[in-house]
Amino acid sequence: MSGAAGERRRGRGASSNPANRYAATCTEAVDDGWHQEPLPPLATTLTRDATRSVIARNDSPDIPFDRAINPYRGCEHGCIYCYARPGHAWLGHSPGLDFETRLYAKADAAARLEEELAAPGYRCAPIALGSYTDVYQPVERTQRITRSLLEVLARCGHPVTLVTKSALVERDLDLLGDMAARGLVQVRFSIATLRPEVARQLEPRAASPARRLQAIERVRAAGVPVGVLVAPVIPVLTDPEMEKVLVAAREAGAREADYVLLRLPLEVAALFREWLSAHFPGEAARVMARVQDTRGGRDDDPRFARRMVGTGVYADLLAKRFRVAAARLGFGNLPPLRADRFRPPARGGQLALF
């Protein structure tokens, strides 16, 4: 597991592949003075994840759902700030380049979902798709696992929420439009910046900001309720754009808005600092000073009720700016999802008995 600095690869977010926190050993790069050729592109690998269940439960007071499905581990979008990066340590991988290139796919996710929905004790409530890694990341084009999950949920009349940075969601508008007509789906797009030159470094393989706004228009035109997440809000670097993002999303058709302040848990803090030094060296010190202003003097504050919005004068100012802009633009709540339409799938291939 390499911890070498300067491993920057074109089209990837992380600049290195540091050892994860459970690794027994790690390596460190040393400049020996010899000329180094540019590193070749780093290929993506996909491994089958033979999971026995797909619905993950949580009791966090910070998020509005208690269950989620994540068909992929790791994410090729390569967002440098992704709070899911430390999870790759459980697989023995680095939260750096490994997270973006060594992916795992739950190929049997739809079958496992049917089994769990058919269980006698199952109680219906909205399932979140994309709570950890993006369900429409590039490998979904060929794997179609998200599509298969939506087919199950649509067939059973089960409510679902989607969060994505990808325009690939448009592929599934036939399903989403039908589900929306039955009050079963909400879609939210995450947009941190409108500047393509920043987004290209921040989220190298996600859709461009302009393409996401176009996707909002198309999803909304299909009758699907759409919201926007200004996320993450990065002090100094992207926070001046908060109001502009809200205006653009509202004009595109978003009807609900929220925001999340930059989070830097565990290994993400060092990766983000390294990324700042590589791409925005002139702003790096000011960015991190403001980050720490919102996190009690640290890079991260994981406590509930604080981790999403931060604390202190700067965080309070961001919250006020968001509230004022959202109110001025007329953002409200998306229509509530319906759980009363749920009908569990037949168990064991047999017709359900009533």
pLDDT surpassing 50 at residue 294: yes
Q: What is the mean pLDDT of residues 39-68?
A: 89
Tell me, yes or no, whether 181 lies in a domain.
yes
For 300-341, the pLDDT digits (tens) are 999 888 989 999 999 999 999 999 999 999 999 999 999 999
Question: What SS3 string covers the chain?
Answer: CCCCCCCCCCCCCCCCCCCCCCCCCCCCCCCCCCCCCCCCCCCCEEEECCCCCCCEECCCCCCCCCEEECCEECCCCCCCCCCCHHHHHHHCCCCCHHHHHEEEECCCHHHHHHHHHHCCCCCCCCEEECCCCCCCCCCHHHHCHHHHHHHHHHHHCCCEEEEECCHHHHHHHHHHHHHHHCCCEEEEEECCCCCHHHHHHHCCCCCCHHHHHHHHHHHHHCCCCEEEEEEEECCCCCHHHHHHHHHHHHHHCCCEEEEEECCCCCCHHHHHHHHHHHHCCCCHHHHHHHHHHCCCCCCCCCCCCCCCCCCCHHHHHHHHHHHHHHHHHCCCCCCCCCCCCCCCCCHHHCCCCC
Could you tell me the pTM of the whole model? Answer: 0.92
Query: Which range (6-20, 168-182, 213-227, 247-261) has the least confidence?
Result: 6-20
20: left (phi over 0), alpha (psi -120 to 50) or beta: beta
Q: What is the mean pLDDT of residues 259-286?
A: 97
Tell me, yes or no, whether 21 lies in a domain.
no
pLDDT reported for residue 63: 85
Tell me, yes or no, whether 141 lies in a domain.
yes
Q: What is the mean pLDDT of residues 53-79?
A: 93
**Higher local confidence (pLDDT), 297 or 354:** 297
**Higher local confidence (pLDDT), 215 or 348:** 215
User: What CATH number corresponds to the domain at position 184?
Assistant: 3.80.30.30
Percent of the chain whose pLDDT exceeds 70: 92
Query: Which range (8-12, 60-64, 74-78, 335-339) has the least confidence?
Result: 8-12
Percent of the chain whose pLDDT exceeds 90: 81
At residue 2's C-alpha, the angle toward residues 21 and 41, to 5°, is 125
Q: What is the mean pLDDT of residues 193-210?
A: 97
Torsion of CA 8, 12, 18, 23, to 10 degrees: -150
pLDDT surpassing 80 at residue 38: no
269-301 b/e with 16+ CB inside 10 Å = b?
A: bebbbbbbebbbeeebeebbebbbbbbeeebbb
Tell me, yes or no, whether 323 lies in a domain.
yes
CA nearest to 158, candidates 184, 188, 128: 184
pLDDT reported for residue 31: 65
For 93-118, the pLDDT digits (tens) are 999 999 999 999 999 999 999 999 99
Amino acid at 37: E
Domain that holds residue 252: 48-336
Query: Which range (39-43, 170-174, 296-300) has the least confidence?
Result: 39-43
Tell me, yes or no, whether 55 lies in a domain.
yes
64 — pLDDT class (breaks 50, 70, 90): confident
Tell me, yes or no, whether 262 lies in a domain.
yes
At residue 293's C-alpha, the angle toward residues 291 and 299, to 5°, is 45
pLDDT reported for residue 347: 75
Tell me, yes or no, whether 8 lies in a domain.
no
Kindly list the distances between the CA atom of residue 26 and the CA atoms of 9, 22, 80, in Å, as whole numbers in the listed order. Answer: 20, 10, 21
Q: What is the mean pLDDT of residues 215-221?
A: 98
- Are the C-beta atoms of residues 268 and 83 closer than 8 Å to each other? yes
- Are the C-beta atoms of residues 161 and 66 closer than 8 Å to each other? no
**Number of domains observed in the structure of the chain:** 1
Q: What is the mean pLDDT of residues 286-313?
A: 94
Tell me, yes or no, whether 10 lies in a domain.
no
pLDDT reported for residue 51: 83
Residue 313's φ and ψ, nearest 5 degrees, are -60, -45
pLDDT surpassing 60 at residue 1: no
Average per-residue pLDDT for the chain:
92
